[in-house]
Structure 1
Amino acid sequence: MEIKINRTADTVLMVRPRDFGYNIETGIDNEFQIKPALGPVELKKNANAEFQAMVDGLRKNGITVLILEPPIINDITTPDAIFPNNWFSTEHDGTILTYPMMAKNRQAERRLLEIEKLLNKNGYIIRNCINVGRLDEPEKFLEGTGSLIIDHVDEVVYAARSERCHPEQFDNFIRLRFYLKGILFDTKSSAGNPIYHTNVMMSLGEKYAVICLECIRDKKQRNLVLETLNKSFDVMEITMDQMENHFCGNILEVRNQKNKSFIVMSENAKKGFTKDQKKFLERYGEILSFDLPTIETIGGGSARCMMAEIF
């Protein structure tokens, strides 16, 4: 059977943020997280309201959203469970991949059997479940499609080196899945630190790419990334300010069941794009924006981080 390959998915999986809060462990290298002034009860209430509004908005536009409900485990909290694409991803051949994450308190998010049940219940075919690296990996981390920006058509994978993206584990992933090319590059934030996840500074749609080239300081690396992208994509550059203060790189193109394309982002990102940049994006899909101030500020991730693509 021939497998149709798209760069974008028509189904996303999201996880309800029952335990949402500021994660001290991930705050070590995630400069996008800000410690809250609100109490935990109000934080959870706000995050759940933002989450549900986004789910409702996606479904209203015909995008299939599967929801993995949080487990009831009294002695374990998962403040970052709302960002499932860090621990698992899917591929067109029916493979589910799971990944080693850096923060110890994120390991309880890994619920592969429940993902299997949810996908099976909704008619998706699972052929393989593969773990990247060791189950108890102590230092060579690779945080799913937070770290990996995958061009499924050209079989090229882009990644920014960081504590969440170890070069050996990145190479392991490329070899494991037989991708043709892996491009690993170094980044620096305005504070001089590595960008914690590639998907906050870069996004690939079906025909376009959005990227903050400014944070790739090495000229050779920057040119290689740009030259490779230009072969298949219409490239739009965003500034460091747009990336760091508006999450303009943390966007995702998805399709609905009628094959209409939408570009999902936060309201903050939409406001951060210039008028011309929004016109650029609208050539490729309708912009869907959602107000995510609590999730962005306290969680340090935005709309793209909340969606795991189901291919």
Structure 2
Amino acid sequence: MPHSETPMSIQAPPAVVMVRPRHFTPNPETAADNRFQSSPDSPADETARRAFDEVSCAVDTLRAAGVTVHLFDDDGRHHTPDSVFPNNWFSTHPGGHVAVYPMFNPSRRRERRSDVLEFLKQHYRVQDVIDYSGLEHDNLFLEGTGAMVLDHLARVAFTARSHRADPVALERFATHFNYEPLVFDTADAQGQPIYHTNVLMCIATQFALVALDAIVSPQRAAEVRQRLEETGREVLPITQQQVADFAGNAIELSTPQGRVLALSARAAASLSDEQRRCIERSARLLPLDVPTIELAGGSVRCMLAGVHLAPRRAV
């Protein structure tokens, strides 16, 4: 089916929340286990300005493609160097459900914003907000759709094992939201665990990008592949180098003209011709240029918190 005629998909939200940072910088707190971070080669104020501009351009590109973008500015009053990545502190779900998550690093806990939640309640049908942030007091963490990659069709929460995805917190989420947890150990090219699942895996409606060789157990990797193929998706393996280029950190979105795959320009450039052809059978590639933001160890998927909620009708 050509992507111009594809129907709306529960996997691909039509709207996203984004946060434009004021004082962006790669976060020293998160560098210990995020091996994708890099140090800027420019002064702090210039790095922050570039990140601000990259988000502004990304918003314009997404809106021009037909994606609804709810943009919030980080006022800069609190030390929140990773505020550009809101997908870690909340997620939304069909049926009017919202989850708020416990964050591993103290500076990231300050990213949670009541105004974002109130906006969602005002403009979308929100039945409940389940707040797991109190689990931080027990050192239990689950960093949203960074820690989990959710298959909304088969109700599976694919999760790379890490201290950012505690099994107790994961089990609570899975029980409340009716997902089956599928947990696996990972290793990057240097043999170190990968800090977030959404760096190595993207699940779209008709395909999935997965770094199967980053899953330590071959049997578990085969199970991950099988579970995705059971839904009729084509599984596109990505290499460790493509993971490093953020090819796995993408998100499929719905627009009035069909589905798009939002990913960084760096990620798009890393795709093979065959991967591109497969993706473009059901979604148009939508590259966003975010090299400064990628210095923080995250990319486009981390920047976009999908809105899987029904809009309120104007009275």
Instruction: Give the residue type in structure 1 aligned to 2:302.
Output: C
Figure out how many residues of one structure are paired with residues of the other and give that number.
300
Alpha carbons 2:135, 2:169 under 8 Å: kept: no
1:184 maps to what in 2? 183
Q: Give the TM-score of the pair, scaled to structure 2.
A: 0.92
Alpha carbons 1:11, 1:66 under 8 Å: kept: yes
Matches within 5 A, 1:1-311: 6-71=10-75, 73=77, 76-111=78-113, 113-121=114-122, 123-132=123-132, 134-179=134-179, 181-232=180-231, 233-244=233-244, 246-256=245-255, 258=256, 260-297=258-295, 299-311=296-308
Structure 1 unaligned blocks of 5 or more: none
Alpha carbons 2:149, 2:203 under 8 Å: kept: yes
Name the % identity: 36
**What whole-Å deviation, never above 9, does each CA across 1:184-226 have from its counterpart, x for those lacking one?**
0000011111110000000010111110001012122111111
Instruction: Give the residue type in structure 2 aligned to 1:105.
Output: S
Structure 2 unaligned blocks of 5 or more: 1-7, 309-315
Instruction: Give the residue type in structure 2 aligned to 1:190.
Output: A
Residues 70 and 300 of structure 1: CA distance in aligned 2, closer, same or farther (over 3 Å): same
> SS at the partner of 1:190?
coil
Alpha carbons 1:202, 1:210 under 8 Å: kept: yes
Instruction: Give the residue type in structure 1 aligned to 2:285.
Output: I
- Aligned-residue offset at 1:145: 0.2
- Aligned-residue offset at 1:137: 3.2
- Aligned-residue offset at 1:174: 0.9
> SS at the partner of 1:109?
coil
Alpha carbons 1:87, 1:98 under 8 Å: kept: yes
Residues 153 and 219 of structure 1: CA distance in aligned 2, closer, same or farther (over 3 Å): same
**What whole-Å deviation, never above 9, does each CA across 1:217-276 have from its counterpart, x for those lacking one?**
2122111111111101111000011111x11100110011x1510010111011100111
1: distance between equivalents of 2:174 and 2:9? 18
- Aligned-residue offset at 1:18: 1.2
> SS at the partner of 1:130?
strand
2: distance between equivalents of 1:138 and 1:79? 24
Residues 263 and 5 of structure 1: CA distance in aligned 2, closer, same or farther (over 3 Å): closer
2: distance between equivalents of 1:49 and 1:182? 37
